[in-house]
Amino acid sequence: MDSRRRRRQAKVARCESEEVSSIEWEFIDMTEQEEDLIYRMYRLVGDRWSLIAGRIPGRKPEEIERFWIMRHSEEYAEKRKLRRT
């Protein structure tokens, strides 16, 4: 019984993660084909980023989610405008 408790505590400890400020994120550049696929997949499956990333070779779910957040967030709208000029 004691060993079970230790294993459970170890699992809980591993699940804790450090939060990272979104201000520090770099912009993710996607090709037009990747963007199109992300939009179409999002309409089909919602925010299941790992499923969407599985359809785009070389992309991680975190990158897809970050791209989506930056593209649809008001916070990043001004930064996108400045970046284009």
Residue pLDDT, tens place only, 29-46: 889 999 999 999 999 999
pTM reported for the whole predicted model: 0.60
Domain borders along the chain are 30-85
pLDDT over 70 for what percent of the chain? 58
Contact (CB, 8 A) for 38 and 30 = yes
Residues 6+ apart with CB under 8 A from 53: 59, 60, 61, 63, 64
- Residue 71 binned pLDDT confidence (cut-offs 50, 70, 90): confident
Contact (CB, 8 A) for 64 and 34 = no
Q: Which fold has domain 30-85?
A: Arc Repressor Mutant, subunit A (1.10.10)
- Residue 75 binned pLDDT confidence (cut-offs 50, 70, 90): low
